[in-house]
Structure formats: C-alpha cells, structure tokens
C-alpha cells in the first residue's frame, strides 16, 4: 500500500467513528471497524487491478470467452435434446392415432361380419300378411267399415228406478242406452250390417 492509500484508510476510519459517536461508544467502535473494512476492500481491489499484467488480462479474457462458448454450446445441446424429445413424442402420438384408427376399422369389419352371419343364420322372415279378422257373413268380402258401438234400447229397470228416486224425470233414465261389447259393422260391397 502506498502512503496516500494508508492516509485515506485512516481518514475514512476516523470519519465513520466520529459519525457514530452520537449513538454511543459501541456504535462508534462498530462504525470505525465498518469504515476500515470498506475502505480497505476498495483499496485492495484498486491495487489488484493495477498489478495485473497485460498477459494475465489476455488470459482472463480468453478464459471468459471459453466459458461463454461452453455455455452457448451447452444451451444448443439442450435445445437439440428438447427438439428430439418433441419429435419422439410426436411420433408416439401419430402411432397411437394410427393404432386407434386400425382398431376402429377392425371393429367395423367385425361388426359387419357379425351382421352378415346373423343374416345368414336366421331364415328370411316372410312378410306378414294382415289377415282381416272380419269377413262379411253374407258375401265373404273383407271390405268392412265399423259403424260404432251397439246400444241396447229402452231399459225398464232404469226407468222404474229413476221414477222412484227422482220422480217423473227419472223415467227418462230408461232411455239412456247401455253400451254393450258388440260393435256394428257394414259391408262396403253388399251393404249389409252385422254385429261382431
């Protein structure tokens, strides 16, 4: 260290010590130590920079460039590996899609074959001919139309019961027809009516 550097070190140490006197003796000593450490570090760094020869500077610069090249090369290798992994994943996905389409086609073929087997195994169904359940009893025609439900005529029991319960109005209850299960039909060929 030069004489000027030593004086600077002492001055800064005293300055830090005096600046912290107001806060107590402990803070003053801590300030002096802190000032000394900071100033000594700065002076040491300046002296070290001055003592480096041009050959050493070139060597340091060369080491830095070499490290930088290694980092770039490592980044390129990582990018290349990542690209290869993406290609491999893409190929796997393509293969999976192909497998799924093949399975789908195989299922369709198997289903079509099973349908063919079922068609050959079962005898062809005969068309069902709708046989009319009604035939005209006079001419034997099947051209028949319904007329409606058959009703019985006057009911004496209803008339007597209605008259007793309600008076004269109840006699009209006898005319309320009673539906039976028979239906009237008419033959469209011969025009005859019949019950079924």
Residue linked to tokens 């289903």: 111
83-87, 102-106, 159-163: the lowest-pLDDT one: 159-163
Helix (H) or strand (E) holding 22: none
Quick one: pLDDT band at residue 179, thresholds 50, 70, 90? low
Q: Is the pLDDT of residue 149 over 70?
A: no
Rounded to an integer, the average pLDDT of 158-179 is 58
List, for residues 16-67, the tens digit of each pLDDT value. 767 766 777 667 677 777 777 888 888 888 888 777 788 888 998 999 999 9
Which pTM was predicted?
0.31
Residue 76 CA to residue 60 CA, distance in Å, equals 24
The Cα 180–Cα 196 span in angstroms is 11
* pLDDT tens digits for range 116-142: 777 776 665 655 555 546 788 888 888
Mean pLDDT of the chain: 78
Q: What is the DSSP letter of 174?
A: G
The token pair at 75 is 């980044």
- What is the pLDDT at residue 57? 85
pLDDT at residue 165, rounded to an integer: 64
Percent of the chain with pLDDT over 90: 26
Structural domain boundaries in the chain: 3-51, 54-119, 144-195
């Amino acid at each position: 260290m030069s004489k000027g550097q030593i004086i600077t070190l002492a001055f800064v140490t005293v300055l830090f010590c005096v600046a912290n006197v107001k806060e107590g003796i402990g803070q003053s000593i801590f300030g002096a130590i802190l000032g000394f450490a900071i100033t000594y570090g700065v002076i040491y760094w300046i002296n070290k920079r001055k003592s480096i020869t041009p050959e050493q500077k070139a060597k340091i610069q060369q080491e830095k460039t070499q490290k930088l090249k290694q980092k770039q090369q490592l980044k390129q290798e990582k990018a290349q590996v990542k690209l290869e992994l993406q290609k491999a994943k893409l190929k796997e996905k393509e293969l999976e899609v192909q497998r799924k389409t093949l399975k789908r086609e195989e299922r369709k073929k198997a289903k079509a074959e099973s349908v063919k087997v079922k068609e050959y195994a079962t005898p062809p169904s005969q068309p069902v001919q709708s046989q009319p359940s009604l035939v005209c009893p006079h001419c034997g025609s099947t051209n028949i139309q319904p007329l409606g439900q058959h009703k019985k005529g006057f009911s004496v029991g209803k008339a007597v019961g209605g008259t007793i319960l309600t008076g004269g109005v109840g006699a009209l209850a006898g005319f309320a027809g009673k539906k039976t299960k028979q239906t009237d039909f008419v033959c469209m060929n011969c025009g005859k009516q019949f019950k079924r």
